[in-house]
Chains A and B, each alone.
Chain A
Amino acid sequence: MRFELTPRTTVSPVARALAPVAAFIVSFLIAGFVIWLMGRSPIAAFDVYVLQPLSDPWSLQELLVKATPLALIAIGLSYCFRASLWNIGAEGQYVMGAILGSWLALKTHGTEAGFWVLPLMLVLGIVGGALYGLVPAFLKTRFGVNEILTSLMLVYVAQLTLDYLVRGPWRDPKGFNFPQSVTFDPSATLPPILESGRVHYGVFFAVIAVLVTAVILGRTLFGYRLKLTGDAPRAARFAGFNSRATTMAVFAISGGLAGLAGISEVSGQIGQLQPSISPGYGFTAITVAFLGRLNPLGILVAALVVALTFIGGESAQILLRLPLDLTQAFQGILLLCVLAADALVSYRIRLVTRGGGK
């Protein structure tokens, strides 16, 4: 028994758009099966994971809050993935952006620093993430070192750096020895859009990133260069496109956006540095990027959908006592299904049993 793949001559746009939806449904069925194996009701889980968050205004706000970093990071990753470059260290770039941006917040803490603090923090966040993203890009272009492994290793290094800072030099001296920094001043806090609301201005950054990316990918030579570098590297070389410059550029962009996500989360959501500032946004964003088919608008939708699994996961932990790890397992299965569904779009697949032509 084996599979037989034949490339489809025409790929219907409807199938292309429906593939992620189908992948999502299949992953839900698998997750339901796992929950049933664990002796819980899949129906109740579906209610808690999906229906309740969507019918509660507080959860809807939370949805935007969680979707913001996911969309920002995934948009950045889409640049890399389009060029077939594998930046899987967005989590580290997110942390480094948060660290560099927070440095200014802590430096100006308690002073009468003005309105310039917050914008400069955001810029520093972008710079921190971009510089950290450039490390694997530089190692790849200059020395030919595989970017997958270096970018991933740097995640651990970034997390340890943050851990050192909040337990050591940046610890709040009045914080009862808790490993956390002082709470940021109002001048260093990304304000909520609505008074007393939870949604901060980071949402706009995500939307701007989506719009700008849509223009860049669809309307500029750079966007075309990315696509060509990814799909046909030889052709891109013959066309005179410099693949080294492209590599550096996409890593800087994706690192910068991850850094912006990091500093926005810390200054708009958490309000201080602590050992853990992300439930794995940098890794989940990989799923988001593929679920959105590397398309800016698709990613925006995918970020909202995947954010739902985070919120659902949190309430399922409280209401059904289902562990948070279930969410991560679900996100992994979802990515597998999305990638498999992509293949279904471009290939016709037949299951050949014995005798069917060996």
Chain B
Amino acid sequence: MGKTLYEKVWEAHEVRKLRSGQSQLFIDLHLLHEVTSPQAFGMLKDLGLRVRYPHRTFATVDHIVPTHDRTEPFQDPLAQSMLEALRANTKEHGITFFDLGSGNQGIVHVIGPQLGLTQPGMTIACGDSHTSTHGAFGAVAFGIGTSQVRDVLATQTLAAQKLKVRRINVEGRLAPGVYAKDVILHIIRHLGVKGGLGYAYEYGGSAVEAMDMESRMTLCNMSIEGGARIGYVNPDETTFQYLEGRPYVPKGSEWEEAKRRWLAWRSDPDASYDDVVTFRAEEIAPTVTWGITPGQAIPIDGRIPLLEELPEEERPVAEEALAYMGFSPGQPIKGVPVQVAFIGSCTNARLSDLREVARYLKGHKVKKGVRALVVPGSEWVARKAEEEGIAEVFREAGFEWRMPGCSMCLAMNPDRLEGDELCASSSNRNYKGRMGSPRGRTVLMSPLMVAAAAVAGEIADAREVFGVGAR
């Protein structure tokens, strides 16, 4: 019987069994940011421990960074102190830190792949649930809490339990105007936000194989919104093409050897899965959320469900969502006015996301009264977007072109919703209060759909607004 990539990686990294029955798992790559690490360094100090293998940890600052003016000290002294704590901690322990202005600062899940830190077959941990993003490369990557950040700093290992594996096939071809974001929203809509509990998701099938790496990252990124701590795609030629030549990737003869090694991690053709689910790519439409969990999603042409159409156990949250969002059951989602449009986050702020939007946005204007923001995923993305003229297309259309960070996705910096503003967002979470206002409302969608909402001033079908597929 063959093995899945998850099983192979697990076996290669299992140091030993712990007395509780958990496994001690070796972590190849550890990523840090300023929010979940200072307490871990504090615990390390209290225990008199050092960072055991500093060459396996890399840090950046993303959550609290202002995106309009980064002059230090920041206006928010708490944000400044978090940045300074990370600077001091990484310096003291000899950890590479991609600081503001280094050219490589950015959202931690954008810079890992961009620098080639993320490689197939690795175990990757970070104190951030969207670490699942790195699974796009065939890595076993997952979010951890701060106590586990301490464990990884001190030992490069953590206590873990093996998950089951669900294979999710997406077969066929995605229609024009339908993106990886729509695919993952569609999957979560059908499998539920708890569907992935206890599972790692292995994505495959012809539609996934046809995706570029940045689309695969979007797909894996939101595994956690589906309840799965881990999501991955088997490494292939697309993976290798993306990685070749990146700063932390092997070169020359080592490159050939690395590719051979990476290919061997792929799930065997006769691997067995704990569950298999198949979706048809043609059935996936541009998808948007209407509620307060990422599973509350509908196709753009759809209506918000009537309570009686929903399974009984979903009704209480649906009622709560309708009350919070101010929507009526049966109402179409198209045409709902938006006050804010946000393109950014670890889900959708990579160069290809911005490139795709710019392709269609040229010649259009953001509707008067809509506050529209683009927050590129990293300094590198921002620089390339300037070079390619993408930034100018956004500015010309009336978007504010900001500096990289997590920004409004979780509003730990000055970017936030006010009152009950409704935001069309390319981020990953539509939870109550997520974007900084306790009454703020988030509607998740692909970056192109956000641009369409910005231009139309309401939730709209990007295919109609931009004539997608017509050209």
**Do A and B share a complex?**
no
Residues of A within 8 A of B (CB): none
